[in-house]
């Protein structure tokens, strides 16, 4: 850990204060709440994803042509679909599509086809001849009606300042309410055109680049073109009397890209203040991760009436211009939009990341934010530990409150990332995220994809970590007992209890401990592998206080620290008494206790750099012949445990 001491102590002083009175983020909770509200509607409406009948073709392209008058709760238009057939004998094509919308025509190579609706959300179109696998084909579906959505949901008509506004918000299962689609997380559409005709008083916002804005009688036609793969739930439109302005963003690849903002005229000044601040954050994410994913087009915002935000691809819909909301939705362009969770079980790959990136934007730009990074972390921990259980992995994807749980998917998901940054180090952590983004570019990802990249850059095996923290429930409370001998040796006995022992009885995490002196201090990193482990270290100053995790790297709660008598039980493993040599070692590793009065019966193990135990054994005493096993060269840890249950960990290099 590279720690700047001044900053650290300052943070620590602030932290003590903040922990007593943790603040929550200014607008984050409203984001979560409203995102959840939006999704709840769809779940009550229909607790399923795409029909299996849509899996036999691959979506290539859509051209949407809609007439929208925001004063009317109505959609009228057509969708032209290009698709590639995946199976021989393709005799009909199926879409997820609401039966409440009237299909007026299906045009297939100039010929009208019939169609039939079954159930609430299945549209079936028989084809005149069976198509072989590999066929690229297309058809146009003309339809109209009032989509099945009430005052909230996927298709919403509302007002602002006495002006009508209409917007869509389809995550997770709402696309099928207003256009014929594959309503799931299996198939990104390669590219789309969105052509919206609306009365000339209004502007229409959508994905991609606005290629033309033309007058047609008393109407205007807005043509948006998007040439990146897009998940169906991220296709969106919003129409009202938008004021428009552009911020310019110079990206790391040299592109000067527009950030295009469609805002309610009455909120223009407020919007301009907020989005101007976001330019530096876009540049920060762009340089920290990979180039902004849609850099050949744009980023932007369209204001809507929801109490939060939605990360529609290249154009987030937002209800305010606060730092928390804008940085969260922007982060989704990388995590959620370019790389989309492949299952709602893995929603933390969208929401945990977006939440964490909002956090690190506070870390990076302290002068720009009210809620500082330390207070933000304290607030997240307070939320996570407010209940003893719950896993980041969504164990019930039919329950919207479970998927979009702010405590688990957003906050604990974000903290899983923060803990990985601590456990793996800055370079391995951020390097893995860049590799993950490149690997899964414009595709879907599961947690296992992220794990593979984190393991590759760090060399650490993360099975146990994900078992405890992703699938497992709860969190630890650390209990430190410490003592300093007259010689300066500090002994720390580290115990932990867990909030859900039936799920996880021990969390293997490196634990930072601050040893505070009168004029000096230091942080030691303890790597416990079992409960009650005893650590010893030589400290050159008098320790006056000990604190667990002063920088808030970890999820933990109700930690305790007490001074106690450990010298007697710990001295066998004290630095001055236990010698492990030679280091590097070739054939034989000598273990010597200087004050040895009796034979040392030791259980011992050797752990490699991946955290795997490669040798386990018992020994009467003074060394191990490591040439007996085929140890590759490298850094190892030697774990020792004596008959009294005291343990110690030493590192050595095998030549
Ligand atoms: Zn989000």
What are the DSSP calls for 191-219, one per residue? Answer: EEEEEEEEETT-EEE-SSEEEEEEEETTE
CA 411 to ligand 1 center in whole angstroms = 11
Tell me which of 637 and 600 has the higher pLDDT. Answer: 637
The model's confidence at residue 27, banded by pLDDT at 50, 70 and 90, is: very low
Q: Given this model, what pLDDT does residue 598 score?
A: 54
CA 350 to ligand 1 center in whole angstroms = 7
CA 286 to ligand 1 center in whole angstroms = 18
Percent of the chain past pLDDT 70, that is, above it, reads 85
Is the separation of the CB atoms in 278 and 330 below 8 Å?
Answer: yes
CA 348 to ligand 1 center in whole angstroms = 9
The model's confidence at residue 644, banded by pLDDT at 50, 70 and 90, is: low
Q: Given this model, what pLDDT does residue 61 score?
A: 98
Each as own residue / partner, the long-range contacts of residues 445-450 (CB below 8 Å, 24 or more positions apart, any chain) are 445/339, 445/340, 445/341, 445/342, 445/346, 445/349, 446/341, 446/342, 446/343, 446/346, 446/349, 447/346, 447/348, 447/349, 447/393, 450/349
Q: Given this model, what pLDDT does residue 645 score?
A: 59
CA 403 to ligand 1 center in whole angstroms = 12
Lowest mean pLDDT among 61-70, 86-95, 258-267, 607-616: 607-616
Q: Given this model, what pLDDT does residue 12 score?
A: 30
CA 36 to ligand 1 center in whole angstroms = 10
Give the span between the Cα atoms of 466 and 550, in whole angstroms.
Answer: 24
CA 347 to ligand 1 center in whole angstroms = 9
pLDDT higher than threshold 90 for residue 144: yes
Tell me which of 186 and 95 has the higher pLDDT. Answer: 95
Q: How far is CA 172 from the centre of its chain?
A: 17
Tell me which of 292 and 401 has the higher pLDDT. Answer: 292
Query: What global pTM score does this model have?
Result: 0.82
CA 501 to ligand 1 center in whole angstroms = 31
Q: 117 exposed, middle or buried (CB, 10 Å; 0-12, 13-18, 19+)? A: middle
Give the span between the Cα atoms of 268 and 545, in whole angstroms.
Answer: 52
CA 655 to ligand 1 center in whole angstroms = 49
Q: Given this model, what pLDDT does residue 52 score?
A: 84
The CA-based dihedral angle spanning residues 633, 637, 640, 645, taken in that order and rounded to the nearest 10 degrees: -160
CA 592 to ligand 1 center in whole angstroms = 56
CA 81 to ligand 1 center in whole angstroms = 29
CA 63 to ligand 1 center in whole angstroms = 27
CA 410 to ligand 1 center in whole angstroms = 8
pLDDT in tens, 481-538: 998 887 788 889 999 999 999 999 999 999 999 999 999 999 999 999 999 888 888 8
Q: Given this model, what pLDDT does residue 23 score?
A: 34
pLDDT higher than threshold 50 for residue 251: yes
What average pLDDT does range 588-611 have in this prediction? 68
CA 114 to ligand 1 center in whole angstroms = 40
Q: Given this model, what pLDDT does residue 104 score?
A: 98
Closest CA to 142 of 105, 197, 99: 105
CA 470 to ligand 1 center in whole angstroms = 19
Lowest mean pLDDT among 71-85, 89-103, 582-596: 582-596
> What is the set of domains in the chain, with CATH numbers?
5-25+346-471 (1.10.390.10), 46-262+298-304 (2.60.40.1730), 476-572 (2.60.40.1840), 577-654 (2.60.40.1220)
CA 610 to ligand 1 center in whole angstroms = 33
pLDDT in tens, 544-576: 999 999 999 999 999 999 988 764 445 566 656
CA 326 to ligand 1 center in whole angstroms = 10
pLDDT in tens, 295-347: 999 999 999 998 789 999 999 999 999 999 999 999 999 999 999 999 999 99
CA 311 to ligand 1 center in whole angstroms = 7
CA 308 to ligand 1 center in whole angstroms = 9
Q: Given this model, what pLDDT does residue 33 score?
A: 42
pLDDT higher than threshold 80 for residue 471: yes
CA 328 to ligand 1 center in whole angstroms = 6
Tell me which of 577 and 526 has the higher pLDDT. Answer: 526
Report the range out of 476-480, 565-569, 649-653 with the highest average pLDDT: 476-480
pLDDT higher than threshold 60 for residue 125: yes
Tell me which of 566 and 181 has the higher pLDDT. Answer: 181
Q: Given this model, what pLDDT does residue 616 score?
A: 67
Give the span between the Cα atoms of 224 and 209, in whole angstroms.
Answer: 5
pLDDT higher than threshold 80 for residue 373: yes
CA 406 to ligand 1 center in whole angstroms = 10
CA 10 to ligand 1 center in whole angstroms = 31
The model's confidence at residue 591, banded by pLDDT at 50, 70 and 90, is: confident
Give every CB contact of residue 308 below 8 A, 6+ residues apart in sequence.
30, 31, 32, 33, 34, 35, 38, 318, 319, 325
Is the separation of the CB atoms in 368 and 277 below 8 Å?
Answer: yes
pLDDT higher than threshold 60 for residue 5: no
pLDDT higher than threshold 50 for residue 170: yes
Is the separation of the CB atoms in 297 and 344 below 8 Å?
Answer: no
Residue ranges near ligand 1 (ion) with Cβ within 5 Å: 351, 354
Give the span between the Cα atoms of 50 and 46, in whole angstroms.
Answer: 11
Q: Given this model, what pLDDT does residue 160 score?
A: 98
Is the separation of the CB atoms in 189 and 229 below 8 Å?
Answer: yes
CA 351 to ligand 1 center in whole angstroms = 5
pLDDT higher than threshold 50 for residue 20: no
Q: Mean pLDDT for the chain?
A: 87
CA 355 to ligand 1 center in whole angstroms = 7
Give the span between the Cα atoms of 471 and 460, in whole angstroms.
Answer: 18
CA 354 to ligand 1 center in whole angstroms = 6
Give the span between the Cα atoms of 93 and 191, in whole angstroms.
Answer: 20
Q: Given this model, what pLDDT does residue 108 score?
A: 98
Number of Cβ atoms within 10 Å of the Cβ of 75: 22
Closest CA to 515 of 547, 480, 538, 487: 547
Instruction: Report the interhelical angle of 323-332 vs 348-364 (nearest 10°).
Output: 130
Task: Name the pairing type of β-strands 155-160 and 163-168.
Answer: antiparallel
What are the DSSP calls for 325-343, one per residue? Answer: HHHHHHHHTTBTTTEEESS
CA 40 to ligand 1 center in whole angstroms = 15
Give the span between the Cα atoms of 143 and 180, in whole angstroms.
Answer: 9
């Amino acid at each position: 850990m590279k720690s700047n001491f001044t900053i650290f102590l300052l943070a620590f002083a602030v932290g003590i204060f903040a922990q007593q009175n943790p603040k929550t983020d200014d607008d984050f909770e409203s984001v979560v709440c409203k995102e959840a509200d939006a999704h709840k509607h769809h779940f009550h409406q229909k607790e399923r994803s795409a029909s299996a009948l849509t899996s036999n073709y691959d979506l290539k392209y859509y051209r949407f042509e809609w007439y929208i008058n925001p004063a009317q709760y109505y959609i009228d238009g057509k969708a032209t679909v290009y698709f590639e057939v995946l199976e021989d004998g393709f005799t009909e094509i199926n879409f997820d599509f609401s039966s409440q919308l009237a299909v007026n025509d299906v045009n297939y190579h100039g010929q009208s086809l019939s169609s039939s609706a079954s159930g609430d959300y299945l549209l079936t179109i028989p084809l005149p001849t069976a198509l072989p696998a590999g066929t690229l084909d297309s058809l146009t579906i003309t339809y109209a009606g009032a989509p099945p959505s009430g005052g909230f949901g996927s298709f919403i008509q509302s007002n602002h300042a006495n002006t009508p506004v209409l917007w869509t918000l389809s995550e997770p299962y709402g696309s099928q309410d207003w256009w014929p689609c594959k309503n799931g997380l299996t198939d990104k559409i390669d590219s789309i055109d969105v052509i919206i005709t609306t009365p000339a008083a209004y502007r229409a916002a959508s994905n991609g680049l606005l290629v033309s804005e033309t007058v047609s009688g008393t109407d205007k036609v807005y043509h948006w073109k998007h040439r990146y793969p897009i998940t169906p739930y991220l296709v969106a439109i919003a129409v009202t009397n938008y004021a428009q302005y552009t911020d310019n963003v110079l990206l790391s690849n040299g592109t000067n890209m527009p950030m295009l903002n469609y805002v309610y005229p009455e909120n223009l000044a407020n919007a301009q203040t907020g989005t101007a601040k976001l330019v530096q954050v876009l540049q920060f994410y762009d340089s920290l991760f990979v180039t902004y994913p849609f850099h050949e087009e744009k980023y932007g915002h369209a204001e809507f009436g929801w109490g939060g935000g939605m990360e529609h691809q290249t154009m987030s819909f937002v209800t305010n211009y606060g730092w928390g909301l804008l940085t969260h939705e922007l982060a989704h362009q990388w995590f959620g939009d370019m790389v989309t969770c492949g299952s709602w079980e893995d929603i933390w790959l969208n929401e945990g990341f977006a939440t964490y990136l909002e956090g690190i934007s506070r870390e990076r730009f302290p002068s720009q934010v009210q809620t500082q990074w330390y207070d933000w972390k304290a607030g997240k921990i307070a939320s996570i530990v407010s209940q003893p259980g719950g896993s980041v992995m969504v164990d019930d994807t039919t329950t919207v409150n479970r998927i979009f749980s702010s405590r688990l998917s957003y906050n604990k998901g974000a903290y899983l990332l923060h803990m990985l940054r601590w456990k793996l180090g800055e370079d391995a952590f951020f390097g893995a995220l860049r590799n993950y983004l490149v690997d899964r570019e414009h595709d879907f990802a599961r947690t296992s994809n992220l794990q593979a990249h984190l393991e590759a850059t760090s060399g650490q095996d993360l099975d146990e970590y994900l078992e405890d923290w992703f699938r497992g429930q709860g969190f630890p409370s650390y209990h430190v007992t410490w003592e300093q001998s007259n010689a300066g040796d500090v002994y720390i006995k580290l115990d932990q209890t867990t909030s859900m022992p039936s799920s996880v009885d021990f969390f293997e995490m490196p634990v930072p401990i601050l040893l505070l002196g009168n004029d000096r201090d230091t942080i030691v990193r303890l790597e416990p592998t079992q409960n009650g482990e005893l650590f010893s270290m030589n400290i050159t100053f008098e320790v006056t206080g000990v604190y667990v995790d002063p920088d808030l790297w970890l999820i933990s709660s109700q930690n305790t620290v007490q001074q106690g008598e450990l010298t007697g039980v710990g001295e066998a493993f004290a630095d001055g008494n236990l010698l492990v040599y030679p280091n590097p070692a070739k054939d034989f590793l000598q273990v010597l206790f200087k004050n040895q009065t009796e034979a040392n019966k030791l259980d011992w193990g050797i752990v490699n750099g991946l955290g795997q135990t490669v040798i386990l054994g018992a020994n009467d005493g003074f060394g191990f012949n490591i040439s007996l096993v085929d140890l590759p060269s490298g850094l190892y840890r030697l774990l020792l445990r004596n008959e009294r249950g005291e343990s110690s960990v030493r590192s050595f290099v095998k030549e």
